[in-house]
Amino acid sequence: MKSIIIYVVSDKPNDIGEMLVRAGISVFEKSIREVRLHPFVDDKIGIDSMLERAASKNGLIVYHFFSEELRNYFEQEAKKTQIPIYDARGSLVETLRGITGEKPVANSISDILLDPEYAKKVEAIEFAIRCDDGKNTHELPTADIILIGVSRTSKTPISIYLANRQYRVANIPLMPEIEPPKELFEIPREKIFGLILDPDRLVNIRSERIRSMGIEGQSFYGSRERVITELQKAQELFDNIGCTVIDVTSKAIEEIAAIILANVTRREV
């Protein structure tokens, strides 16, 4: 029987991969030696480093890339190195059975997957993934919570955090050059939360992002002028919709989520 280390890799929060692996541990309890979580692996350099690390430990990589470009790159490079990988959209039980040679513990995985609370949580996370970053806006009317804001205001991490609490959350990036989806104006404003950030803080965050990508001096994205313009346009939209606005500057994800849920709870009373 083979003992393995599992690496859970994603270009965003890897809650789905983590949940699947935790469930896998329950049926392959003797073979899985360790689980290592690696969220926000969002460039090719990070992928190369991850593959090298897994190869040195003879590990299995469970992956879930939102970016099609990164997913394709990861799969091509993994194939070259012959590292066993598992796409979180597939059958983890069969993958682990093939690698470890261990027989799954009967029914324990079924108990987890049939738990109604677990099923609701998974459905909420899947919804958050489908409706992340402005995708599938036709599903907005079925969301419990909708987050809107300019880039780097923590929309995705907040969405996943709330989804883990069984709320269906969509998020929409705001850019001056692109009109917000029409569905946003047809939804009760109580469901919508606008996220803002101190301009100086946002400039710093974006500048760090640009440096990490190696494109300093080539992007208007992190300039103060651009940031001010985006925030002003976002505030105009917030005022137009009449949604609740939250300043996320210096607030932890948990704190922001608590503010949102406090508003949602008052709405439901």
Query: Are 177 and 256 found together in one domain?
Result: yes
**Could you give the number of structural domains in the chain?**
2
When pLDDT is cut at 50, 70 and 90, the band that residue 104 belongs to is low
Give the domain extent around 91: 4-113
Q: What SS3 state is found at 152?
A: coil
Q: Residue 25 — pLDDT band, cuts 50, 70, 90?
A: low
Do 124 and 29 lie in one domain? The reply is: no
Distance CA 16, CA 164 (A): 10
* CATH at 37: 3.40.50.11410
Are 82 and 19 in a shared domain? yes
Q: Tell me the Ramachandran region of residue 33: left when phi exceeds 0, alpha when psi lies from -120 to 50, beta otherwise.
A: alpha
pLDDT at 248: 96
How many C-beta atoms surround the C-beta of residue 22 within 10 A? 12
Of the chain, the end-to-end C-alpha distance in Å amounts to 55
Q: Report pLDDT digits (tens) over 105-144.
A: 544 444 544 455 666 777 788 788 889 999 999 999 999 9
- Model pTM? 0.63
Q: Could you tell me if 94 and 167 lie in one domain?
A: no
Do 138 and 262 lie in one domain? The reply is: yes
In this structure, the strands spanning 169-173 and 145-149 are parallel
pLDDT digits (tens, 9 = 90+) for 177-223: 999 999 999 999 999 999 999 999 999 988 887 887 776 655 678 89
pLDDT at 38: 87
Q: Could you say which of 113, 136, 157 is where a domain stops?
A: 113
* Average pLDDT score, the chain: 84
Q: Which CATH number goes with the domain that contains 261?
A: 3.40.50
